[in-house]
Amino acid sequence: MTKWLLRGLVFAALMVIVRLIQGAMINVWETRASLISAVLVSLYALAAFLWGVVDGRGDARANPDPDRRGDFAMTWLLAGLFAGIVSGAVAWFIGLFYKNLYVEGLINELTTFAAFTALLTFVAAIIGVALGRYLVDRKAPDVVVKHHGLAAIDEDRADTDVFAAVRHPDDATQPVPPQDQNRT
C-alpha cells in the first residue's frame, strides 16, 4: 500500500467519524454548534499535524542531507484529496439513512467539502513535516556535500542535473566569442 493511500484511508475514516460525532453533538447542544465544529476540526488537524511531525522526524533521521529527503508534499496532497473525496462520498451515503448527519448534495460533498478536507489535511501535515525535520536538524551536525568545479554537481546526482549535459566545467572560465553579424 502506498504511503498516500494509507494516510488517505486513515483520514477519510477519521473525517467520517468526526462528522458523525459532530452531527450527534450538535443535535444535543444546538446552541454550541460553532464551538463543537471548531473543536472537532481542530482535533482532526492536530492528528494530521502529529502524523506529519512523525514523518518529518523519520525522514530527517534517515536522510541527513536535506537534498535527499522524501517528497512529503505530494504524499500529503494526494492523501488529503483522497480523504476528502472518499469521506464526502461516505458521509453523503450515510446521510441518506441517518438524518442527523449534516451533509449536502453529492456534488457539494465531492467538491467543496473534499477541497476543505484536502486543504486542512495537507496544510496541517506539511507544517508537521517541517517541524519534525527542524527538530532533528537543529541537533544534527552539518552535512558536507562534495562539489566539482563550477558545476557543483554531486557525484550520484549528475544524471538528474538538467544542465550537466550542455555544460562543461571549463566553459565558465572562457569568454563567449562574438557572433558574426555579416552571415547570410
Inter-residue long-range contacts of 101-106, CB under 8 Å, 24+ positions, other chains counted: 101/19, 101/20, 101/23, 102/19, 102/22, 102/23, 102/26, 103/19
Q: Which of 19-23, 30-34, 60-64 has the lowest mean pLDDT?
A: 60-64
Q: What residue type is assigned to position 37 of the chain? A: S
Would you state the pLDDT for residue 91? 92
pLDDT tens by residue, 80-137: 999 999 999 999 999 888 887 778 888 988 899 999 999 999 999 999 999 998 888 7
Q: How far apart are CA 38 and CA 18, in angstroms?
A: 11
Query: Does residue 48 surpass a pLDDT of 80?
Result: yes
Alpha-carbon distance of 125 to 42, in angstroms, equals: 13
DSSP state letters, 64-106: -SGGG---HHHHHHHHHHHHHHHHHHHHHHHHHH-TTS----H
Grid coordinates standing for 50? 502529529
Average pLDDT of span 7-22:
93
Provide the pLDDT for residue 131: 93
In the numeric block, which cell numbers belong to residue 154? Answer: 554531486
Report whether 109 contacts 91 (CB < 8 A). Answer: yes
b/e burial code for range 91-103 (CB count within 10 A of at least 16 → b): bbeebeeeeebeb
Q: Are 122 and 76 in contact (CB under 8 A)?
A: yes
Which among 121, 94, 118 is positioned nearest to 106, based on CA atoms? 94
* Residue 152 region by backbone torsions, left for phi larger than 0, else alpha for psi between -120 and 50, else beta: left
- The x, y and z cell numbers of residue 130, run together, are 517541517
Contact 104, 36 (CB under 8 A): no
